[in-house]
Amino acid sequence: METAEAEAAAGATVLRGGAFKPRTSPYDFQGHGEDGLKMLAEARDRFGLAIVTEVVDPHDVELVSRYADLLQIGARNMQNYVLLREVGRGQTPVMVKRGGMYPTIENWLLAAEYVLQGGNRQVILCERGLPATGDSALRRNLLDLTAVPIARELTHLPIMVDPSHGTGRQSLVSIMSKGAVAVGADGLIIEVHPHPDQAWSDGAQSLRPEVFSKLMKELPTMVSAAGRTI
Ligand code: PEP
Ligand code: MN
């Protein structure tokens, strides 16, 4: 709630939180499940933010869609065709993060195509970095900003960038957010936490609210430099 309040005050329009989390280790925090969805819905009601949250299991699509304004297909599931078909059958907008075993731009667009083919026309693409090449202490992933203008040439779908997962480091998030806007991203997903050192997930890449707020004030200059309007 603290994060949602701060994000809304800084000008964010959508709140992302994982109620069902795909974690690399089965011993890590897996999310609060439906209770987490209820918390997100409460934040939506209190602070007027839309909600984006991940669905990991085809059987949960109906449940998660009852709460979410936008369904996230996480990077690990970009090539989970059963899940893509299931969200494609619904009406809730879907964001497809780039990833999977073969995270090419072509495969990312084809993943989106699975959703579109099912009849769901509201699809957003999200670049979030590729596995890093040995520099894992310096960056968690290799954020591929060329993917934005390349996808722009190939599709009419909106394209977002997640510089938090894309770099994995607080100190890189603001500068890469600006880079993403400069190359034409339609939106950003930025992880924020009031106490990053106490976060149960991804604290190293989470911005403190005041840093997020500063970034939000700086972004409009980048938007106009890119010849776009908000
Ligand atoms: C997330 O958004 O919390 C997440 C797990 O992202 P990704 O699928 O990009 O790893
Ligand atoms: Mn995360």
C-beta atoms surrounding 200 within 10 Å: 11
CATH number of the domain at 38, please.
Answer: 3.20.20.70
Cα(112)–Cα(92) distance, rounded to whole angstroms? 14
pLDDT at 142: 96
Could you read off the pLDDT of 35-62 as tens digits, one per residue?
999 999 999 999 999 999 999 999 999 9
Q: Is 75 in the pocket of ligand 1 (CB under 6 A)?
A: yes
pLDDT band at 71 (very low <50, low <70, confident <90, very high): very high
pLDDT at 134: 85
Mean pLDDT of 70-83: 98
pLDDT at 136: 84
Could you read off the pLDDT of 190-200 as tens digits, one per residue?
999 999 999 99
Query: For the chain, how many structural domains are there in total?
Result: 1
Mean pLDDT of 95-116: 97
pLDDT at 230: 80
Domain contains 114 = yes
Joined together, the tokens standing for residue 50 give 């839309």
Ligand 1 pocket test, candidate residues 21, 165, 188, 205, most atoms within 8 A of CB = 165
Q: Is 166 in the pocket of ligand 1 (CB under 6 A)?
A: no
- Which atom of ligand 1 is nearest the CA belonging to 126? 9
Domain contains 134 = yes
Domain contains 133 = yes
* Domain span holding position 190: 2-225
What Cα–Cα distance (Å) separates residue 17 from each residue in 31, 52, 98, 177, 202?
A: 9, 7, 18, 19, 12
Residue 200 — φ and ψ, nearest 5°? Answer: -80, -15
Domain contains 230 = no
The set of residues, in sequence order, having a beta carbon less than 8 Å from that of 67 and lying 6+ positions away, is 19, 37, 38, 40, 41, 51, 53
Could you read off the pLDDT of 109-131 as tens digits, one per residue?
999 999 999 999 999 999 999 99
Could you read off the pLDDT of 130-185 as tens digits, one per residue?
998 888 889 999 999 999 999 999 999 999 999 999 999 999 999 999 999 999 99
